[in-house]
Amino acid sequence: MVDKKKDTKSMDIFIDIIEKAYQGTSLQYGKETFRLTPTLVKPADFHRKTCNAQTSYEHLLNALDPAFKTLAASEVYRADTGWITKGVNGYKGHKIRKITVAEDVFLLPNMSKQPTVGIDTSGYQDNNTKVMVICSIPDSEGAYLWLEEHLKLPKDLEKNEFHWVQLNQSYRRLLLDNFELVLSICCDCLLVIKTNVFSERKGKMATVFANLIEGCFSGFDRVPSQADFRADLKQRFFRAVNRVEVHCDNDFAPLSPEKVVRLLVQTLAKQKHECFNRYTPLLASLHSHESKSIQIADIIAGMVKTVLESKEVKVLNPLPFDARKLQSHSKQLPKTYFWIAGE
């Protein structure tokens, strides 16, 4: 039987370590102050055996009370009432996120009050093709801190913002070597469209854009497994963008960011027989240097473009496009992909 007062105090320590370690700030434990550097926390850290500590974080883990570690060994993982579950659901105004990358599990603080969506494009120098990404960002503050403090990415000196095109090869390699980890920290779902329709501009851009989104999910009604899967996937992305602030640059002229967001949400809301889910588009009226979500999407777009160039797309799932949607607007069929965290 777990002592509730003892469990509450231990839960406070659990949350405090996750937050302070991720942010790289000082943490008071007992009579000691540990000056932590930005660190990703793993569940097993709370009950692992003492080690030859090399960092402040490892010194902190060694200093944890043995009784705390014994309790953590069971309470961290308990399904319905464990510390991870409590943290994910919200504990005393604090929330955490649990992400899985390959066989590794990490615990992060959820630093944002609400999720956001970031939309951005990245172009190829030798042709008119662009990669557009629609990123559902569960915690823009936490993701931005990861890029800034953990990876130490440099910013544009003029506007103090992240730009993939301004990163040197060593920083790009760092991001690409940690591709799935960066996606998992920055996004919970991602839609990728590689296309040249924005440069060809055949037909009304509003129609082209709507068909570009719709074509990712339509056209496979006669294949039951694909039809159900695509309907579910469309609903997943609809939930991600509906009533959520969408951050978008002016990359789709003559369409304004406001029009892009409305078309995106409206198209994802569309069901069979011209029926629509109730929807509310929300545009965050911010320029890129004011929007952490746009800057995160910029980095993701640059990473994805580079991965597609290398043809190593193991993490991204191909999503064959419905050719009927753009046959009168472009000779080249878009290539589309998706990624869902933990799947």
Confidence (pLDDT) at 41: 98
Confidence (pLDDT) at 268: 97
Residue 27's contacts (CB-CB under 8 Å, 6 or more residues apart) are 16, 17, 20, 21, 33, 34, 36, 60
Cα–Cα separations (whole angstroms), residue 82 to 5, 7, 66, 85: 15, 10, 19, 5
267-278: pLDDT as tens digits: 999 987 778 899
Ramachandran region of residue 318, left (φ > 0), alpha (ψ -120 to 50) or beta? beta
User: Looking at the predicted structure, is the pLDDT value of residue 66 above 80?
Assistant: yes
Range of weakest confidence among 2-16, 134-148, 230-244 = 2-16
Decide: 276 and 125 in contact? Cβ < 8 Å. Answer: no
Asked if the bond preceding 66 is cis, omega within 30° of 0, the reply is: no
- Average pLDDT over the chain, rounded to an integer: 92
Which domains are seen in the chain, by residue range? 4-109 (no CATH), 116-340 (3.30.420)
- 129: tokens are 């093709």
The phi, psi pair for 293, rounded to 5°, reads -65, -40
Band of the pLDDT at 55, cuts 50, 70, 90?
very high
Decide: 132 and 117 in contact? Cβ < 8 Å. Answer: no
224-230 average pLDDT score: 84
pTM: 0.94
Q: 337 has which bridge partners?
A: 192, 318
Confidence (pLDDT) at 159: 86
Confidence (pLDDT) at 84: 97
User: Looking at the predicted structure, is the pLDDT value of residue 1 above 50?
Assistant: no
- Taking alpha carbons only, the member of 31, 62, 28, 32 closest to residue 45 is 62
